[in-house]
Homo-oligomer: A and B are copies of this chain.
Amino acid sequence: MALEVLASPKPGNVDRCHDYPETRVEHFLVSTLAARASLEAAEAREAGLGRLIEGAVGATSCHAGGNTHFGAFILLIPLVYGGDVRGACEAIRASTVEDAIAFYRAFALTNVRVNAADDLDVNDPSAIDALRERGMTLLDVMVHSADRDMVAREWTNGFALCSLGARALLADPEPRTAIARVFLSLLAAELDTFIVKKHGMAVAEETRGRARAVLAGEESVESLDAWCIERGVNPGSLADITIGAIYLALEAGWAWDS
């Protein structure tokens, strides 16, 4: 989490060279420090995935910078719990309705942008009754959200993007600057679903198109960054994916500092 937020340039996102007025790199690092006990609890399997995510979101809501790592925990908690992708998928398949309910409770602890055009709106208290009535597990919730949320989608596709990102990090000849490069590649390859929710599909597509132009040498990364910042376009879901990728790369022995 610390390596991800520092990596720069990451167009549109908080990085070593850029804050948002309400959310600064210090908030992300306070959140990183505050997350430790929750990640250790995940490693020790002290609770189910839902309660672990709820605990991590609660522990890292200690600063005034708003939501910093909710999406990251949706990826990191099962990965740390399971030890690797296979173990994470096993834990996910065993998730329960209680996990889903705890996950919904986590939303009350922070301000997270979600797609509310849904009968399982996280801001609607009756949604928890609906989860119980339908017997939806936390995996069911993620399946339900997978088409419009790329973080939820990782639960349903074997952490495909996180794994791709990890392999890209491991293969990069210059580890010290690899994270920003992998982030840009993800931005050029995928539509960030956080941008879709916040700004709509057209802006998400334009962002992806501009990232492709940067890779093609037709636009500078600084110009894309300025374009994003001017519009408040922050690819937050791809930042979460990048954190998952860094975790998997480190677990595979990535020498980030070489």
Chain A residues engaging chain B, CB cutoff 8 angstroms: 2-3, 6, 16-17, 24-27, 29-30, 32-33, 36, 63-65, 176, 256-257
Contacts and interface: CB of A to CB of B under 8 A. Distances in A.
A63 to B, nearest CB: 7
A5 to B, nearest CB: 9
Contacts of A26: 2-3, 6, 256-257
Contacts of A257: 26-27, 63-65
Contacts of A29: 2, 6, 29
A30 B2 contact: yes
Given A2-B33, A26-B256, A33-B33, 11 more contacts: A2-B26, A2-B29, A3-B26, A6-B29, A16-B16, A16-B25, A17-B17, A24-B176, A33-B36, A36-B36, A65-B257
17 contacts: A2-B26, A2-B29, A2-B30, A2-B33, A6-B25, A16-B16, A16-B17, A16-B25, A24-B176, A26-B256, A26-B257, A27-B257, A29-B29, A33-B36, A63-B257, A64-B257, A65-B257
A121 to B, nearest CB: 31
A182 to B, nearest CB: 16
A27 B256 CA distance: 11
Contacts of A25: 6, 16
A254 to B, nearest CB: 13
Contacts of A63: 257
A33 B17 CA distance: 21
Contacts of A6: 25-26, 29
Among A26, A30, A176, max chain B CB count under 10 A is at A26
Contacts of A30: 2
A6 B15 CA distance: 12
